[in-house]
Each structure stands twice: as C-alpha cells, then as structure tokens.
Structure 1
Amino acid sequence: MSNEPAPPGGSEDPFAPSGVTWNRVSPKLTTARYVTGAIWLGIPFVGAVVLGVIFGGWVWSAAAVLALLGAWIAWLVPRQVRAYGYAEREDDLLVRRGVMFRSLVAVPYGRMQFTDVSSGPLTRKLGIAEVKLHTASASTDATIPGLPEAEAARVKDRLTQLGEARLAGL
C-alpha cells in the first residue's frame, strides 16, 4: 500500500467517491434482462436442438454452445444489475455501472440539455423504466435503467429542474 495521501476531494478508488450514497436500480431489471436473453438465445437453441435431432453428430455442438452462453448470462446479469447505481449530488449526477469494465459518469446539472424516460412493453409490465440524460457531448452515456416508474418520473423531474436552474445561472 502506498503512503501517498488520497487525491484532494476524493478517495483512492475513482469508482467509489467518498461521501457518496448510491441509489440502486430495481432487481426487476434482472428479470427483464433474463427474458430478453431467453428470447434471443431460446429461439436459436430450439433450432439447434431440432437440427441436432435431425442430423446428429457435431450439430449438437451449436446447442451446447448456446446452452453455455445461457448459463454465462444467468451468472452475469445479476452481477451487472447490482453494479448499477446513481447518486444525486449538489452539482452533478453520478452514474456507475459495470463489473469487469467499470464506468463512472459525472454529469454536471448545468450541462444537461434534456432527459428522457422510456419503457418498452416488457419493462412496462414489470413496472420499471429507463432515464437517459442528454448533453451536448455525444459520448456522454448517462443512462439509468431499471428504475421503478414513480422513481423514474421523480428523477426526470428533479434533473430537469436542477438542469434549468444551473443553466439559468450561467
């Protein structure tokens, strides 16, 4: 361990700023991702099994690969959902995600141009939505998936108010 002091205003870990309380996304996001994965993998898996029955031999390897991919997704998705978090600070919004490849995005409220709330048929059925922040930078990806619908509306309204207040102060 290094004896150097922590950087000013933060902890040693850039993905865990000191003094930040993280809000989690809904565990229902796991269900949504499982259903999506089952659809995308299930149809080819059934096709591979049918072809395996008809032709036999090495054709079964396609079904095996798809089954392994499904097992990997079943293991990975809950970890990814638990890794999502967001924090509303005084001057900016922090959004973190990722297990192996972690990401932390800080979006100053004054830089936000607008916010979206979106929900597809599956996520609507589960009662969750996604909030996306848009800035002038095309590379900014500040998306918070899997929020309960009421929380998504609250976050969108709060971010809109804070964005307008900070923009007016410029």
Structure 2
Amino acid sequence: MDIVQPPRQRRAAKPSGPRRGLIIVHTGHGKGKSTAAFGLALRAHGRGKAVHIFQFMKVPSARFGEHRVFERLGIPIEGLGDGFSWKSRDLERSAALARQGWARAEAMIRAGHHFMVVLDEIMYPLRYGWIELEHVLACLRQRPSHVTVVLTGRDAPDALIAVADTVTEMVKRKHHYDAGVPAQRGIED
C-alpha cells in the first residue's frame, strides 16, 4: 500500500446545477447492491423523506433482516415475487407477479408522492423478459422531477445505464461462498 498525502483542496468544482430526483443503478456481480440501496433509503428516511422499497424477487411474506428493521422504522418494503427462479414451481406465475409488481411500482413512481422508490432486484425480471425494458425506461424518463429511483441487480441493460445519473458496478474480487462458506444470516438476508 502506498501512503499518500490527504488532499488540501477540493479536487473537482462544486456542482452548480439544480437539485432534482436521480436515477441510481447498483449493478455487477459483487456483493452490496441491495445493501447500498437500503443505505440510501435509510438516509432519505432519516431526513424525513417518503421512501418505498419494492423487492421483485422476495415473497410478500419474507421476514429477512431488512424487513424486520424497516418495519420498525416505518419504511414500507414489499416483496413482489415468489423467490428466485431456481426456487419457483411456476415461472409463468413468477412472470405474472413481476408484471403486477411493476404496475404497482410504476404507479407509485408516476404519482410523485415519494422522494425515493427502490426497485430492488428488478434486473432479474427485466433480463428474463417478464417486464419490458421500454416501459421501465419510459417511466423513468417521465417521472416527476423530484422522484429518485434506485434500481438494483446484476447485468443492468446498457439502455438503463444510459438514462441513469449514477451507476455503481459492484465487482466481486473474492467471496466466502466460493470458499464453501454458506450465506450468513444478518449479512446476506
């Protein structure tokens, strides 16, 4: 590791444009996409902003760690699916749930009552063709200007990356699962 001097001056000019809602994408094969989105939701909620989280792959009855804490904090979080595709007994039902879930999320985004709407794990139903990318892009382009939308999942489509204001790609450098260590409650739930 190289030791460097801390910066003494701002490295970039301070932005001077107006504040507005953003499109934020967390993608890639590394861990932390949903976690980063949940962190943004907590920051917004902490500032008194209205936040709603939709999870496209979780079942409505899910009780993972995030569900428990968001419930205590008063942040709505909804499971819209029936689990990951390899656990599904009926992929047609999974597709229908994704479309119904997108209709709910789209209506909420367009209504403009929320400062932030999180679309967690939406890349899966987009990649599977269960939700039409053009419908999502149209909603993002036409949303009220104050609404921030955070989208997560692996392999974000290039067209989504193009309309986003901020894109972070999580890169897996090393993962305990590859070494045979199973998922840990409180870290990956």
TM bracket, shorter-chain basis: under 0.3
Q: State the TM-score, normalized to the length of structure 1.
A: 0.21
Question: Structure 2 length as normaliser, TM-score?
Answer: 0.19
Give the greater-gyration-radius structure (CA). 1
- The higher-RCO structure (CA 8 Å, 6+ apart) is 2
